[in-house]
Structure 1
């Protein structure tokens, strides 16, 4: 039966993931660690000549904005400006007009954390995630 191997394979898969993951899986990473890892991945993709990490860059900034971490938002916008200036236009998403317009729109979204929070709340409802428990580092469920 397929499920008879699940217990062993589950632990093997978890161990492999733990080795590959750059963030700790033993305890929840901090917001700063998550955002910094996004930034690291975005920069690395640029250096390796991979497609621009537009969505990842946006996520890093908007996550920080929703958490009202202006320092991380500023760091993200600075990196986004640097990367946006060197990303090859041919590899950018369809409809991309310019790095300046993208940054301007991203800055406007980041300036409105209440709207970002409403988007997240809507997605929680849409995907029926209201029963998922949040954890705080070193503690049990927050809810």
Structure 2
């Protein structure tokens, strides 16, 4: 996924999923493989992904997957998913889904209280400041719409 709700110079993807063998080890897929093997790998990846690769996922599914990924990172002791948490809230806000914004803010508050201070971004001031800023951004629909529109133009996505 790439949320268009923040100014960013390139398309960067989050919520990536790598094809895994049944053992849980990564599977390598070479372009030189026979077409049937390549198609089998595509089918296996589609079966493993929580979001469909065949049909566009709904906003609810996307936000739930962001929330799940943020919680999983916390549980595994990985770096805090600050940007992913922000993306989940801001895409819900620009879609005018107050219920998803509220759920996201509640999860952000819970996770931020458990994030180790040493692993937070260098510009982190405080949890309260982050939540207040995030809530303010989510509440400014016009500004979010302008950012999204600008990012669509900048990345030449208007035909999608």
TM-score, with structure 1 as normaliser: 0.83
Matched, 1:87 2:120: no
Residue 20 of structure 1, CA deviation: 2.3
Sort the Cα spacing of 1:6 and 1:129 in 2 relative to 1 into closer, same or farther, 3 A: farther
- Could you tell me how far apart the structure 2 residues matched to 1:42 and 1:67 are? 20
RMSD of aligned residue pairs (Cα, Å): 1.9
Residue 113 of structure 1, CA deviation: 1.5
Determine which structure has the larger helix proportion and give its number: 1
Residue 26 of structure 1, CA deviation: 3.0
- Could you tell me how far apart the structure 2 residues matched to 1:77 and 1:4 are? 46
| Aligned position for 2:133 | 105
Q: Please list the CA deviations of residues 85-113 of structure 1 after superposition, one character each: whole Å capped at 9, or x if unmatched.
A: 11001111111111110000000000012
| Greater RCO, 1 or 2 (C-alpha within 8 Å, sep 6+) | 2
Give the total of aligned pairs. Answer: 131
Once the two structures are superposed, the pairs formed by residues 40-79 of structure 1 within 5 Å of their partners are 40-79=68-107
| Aligned position for 1:136 | none
TM-score, with structure 2 as normaliser: 0.75
Gap regions ≥5 residues in structure 2: 1-30
| Aligned position for 2:9 | none
Gap regions ≥5 residues in structure 1: 133-143
Q: Please list the CA deviations of residues 83-142 of structure 1 after superposition, one character each: whole Å capped at 9, or x if unmatched.
A: 11110011111111111100000000000122111111111111111112xxxxxxxxxx
Residue 54 of structure 1, CA deviation: 0.4
